[in-house]
Amino acid sequence: MTCEGAAVNKKERKRKEMKETNNQPKFQDRLLHCIDCDTDFIFEAGEQLYFASKGLTVPRRCNKCRAMRKASIAQNGEKVEWQ
Ligand SMILES: [Zn+2]
């Protein structure tokens, strides 16, 4: 009987460790949809970390459209509404 009890305790502890590991904040690649070119793009974990550190929200445009938008703003010298 005592042996069984020990085995259960060990199992419980292992489960708890696993849960704690899963709770750690971790960025994963996400699939987002671009509102400009209407295609899906990957929002990489590294980018998410960068955006989070800058306090930015999730991008609504893919890298290509964002770059194009930035370029056109620079060209026109106008202040265009960003989002
Ligand atoms: Zn796009």
In the prediction, which pLDDT does 36 show?
A: 96
CA gyration radius, the chain: 23
Establish if 4 belongs to a structural domain. no
DSSP bridge pairs for 23: none
Establish if 16 belongs to a structural domain. no
Ligand 1 center to 53 CA (angstroms): 23
Ligand 1 center to 67 CA (angstroms): 9
Establish if 60 belongs to a structural domain. yes
In the prediction, which pLDDT does 52 show?
A: 93
Ligand 1 center to 66 CA (angstroms): 7
Ligand 1 center to 9 CA (angstroms): 52
Establish if 48 belongs to a structural domain. yes
Ligand 1 center to 32 CA (angstroms): 10
Establish if 42 belongs to a structural domain. yes
Establish if 6 belongs to a structural domain. no
Print the domain residue range for 63. Answer: 26-76
Token couple for 56? 């930015």
In the prediction, which pLDDT does 76 show?
A: 82
Residue type, 53: S
* pTM, two decimal places: 0.56
Establish if 10 belongs to a structural domain. no
In the prediction, which pLDDT does 58 show?
A: 92
Mean pLDDT in order along the chain per 10 residues (83 residues): 64 64 72 97 94 94 94 77 55
Structural domains counted in the chain:
1
In the prediction, which pLDDT does 56 show?
A: 93
- Beta pairing, strands 30-33 & 40-43: antiparallel
